[in-house]
A = this chain, B = another copy of it.
Amino acid sequence: MKKDDDNSLFHGFHSLGELGEFGLIDQIAGLFGRKFEPDAFGIGDDCAVLPYHKDRSLLVTTDMLIEDRHFRRDWITAEDLGYKSLAVNLSDISAMGGRPEYAFLSIGLADDIPLEWLEQFFREAHRLCQNNGVKLLGGDTTKSPGPLVLNYTVLGSVATENILWRSAAQPGDRIALLGNVGESGAGLKLLMKNGLNEDRRYRQLIKTHNRPRLFIEEAQYLAGFPAVHAMIDLSDGIDSDAGHIARRSGVGLKIDIERLPIRLVVREVCDEFSWSAEELALTAGEDYGILFTIDEAGLNQVMKSFKETFGYPFSVIGQVVEDDPDVLYFLQGNPFSLEQHGFDHFKS
């Protein structure tokens, strides 16, 4: 197949690094399609959506983690990896407003993995399943010639009328955020400096990186309000993930940097090591907070109900505008440029 063949899938690109992760996904989606009759929606959101029981839809998400790419065994305990590898998939289900129900795990194991490691991994996965009413129904076990490989597929369900699409943001919406940002990214930077031998003051940052908090109940609760429009979970960082909402909804997202929920400990560690807390908050991945847009008219009532139910607020960090589909940042009202943009698995 010639590079200059106009019919080639990757016309004009010469390598995977040049094409990028989202370029690859776009081409695959173009080949296979995104929407199918009746009411089956594929590539383009946190989960695929399928017709299920009468008023409910089935949600499906899948996620691959490869050792030395997504995790290192000396940077995360078996127990925490047992939690995190499943948790990131539960987060995708919750980001559509859904309830996770069934999990499937494929695991490629190196020969040298100790049985104690496996036991801790599986016991913690089991605990997370039990705590969330999730049933592990199957998977695949195999040997890996190299890295440990984990792939979960999680099925969930959602009342069809409550599905929160990335494409549903509307100009005038406020942009809101559940959870803090920058903590997981700071934890990763600490791991890169010293591994798990961290300063006690910063232990919690690494713990947050290795055991991200989930917002399953909260996201389902929010999905019940018609004022809540679009939603996504923060797996690649606000810059990348808000960009998905912008492009899928065809709107601009304006984010006020000073409103980002960055904890003091993140600012402290950033000061100590001369990192930018704002860059970390916007571009570091794996926070697994929930970003959503909400009709301004409904904001106060939803915030009040949410606080009464969960005992804490969500953050309001910006607004949706009629503009080119992009994410723009402002600091005290002035445009703010990021030094680098969100994570791309093939470009970075």
Contact = CB atoms under 8 A, between A and B. Distances in A.
A10 B106 CA distance: 19
Given A115-B14, A137-B50, A69 B9 contact: no
Given A13-B115, A143-B69, A144-B69, A64 B151 contact: yes
A137 B106 contact: no
Nearest to A107: B64
B138 A43 contact: yes
A73 interface: no
A137 B42 contact: yes
A26 to B, nearest CB: 11
A336 interface: no
A32 B40 CA distance: 30
Contacts of A28: 122, 136, 141
A48 B66 CA distance: 25
A140 interface: yes
A248 interface: no
Copies in the complex: 2
A142 interface: yes
A340 B188 CA distance: 48
Contact of A145 (B69, B113, B119, B138): B69
A275 interface: no
B9 A119 contact: yes
Interface string A141-160: 11111110101010100000
B137 A40 contact: yes
A17 to B, nearest CB: 7
A15 B119 CA distance: 12
Interface stretch (A55-63, A221-229, A256-264, A288-296): A55-63
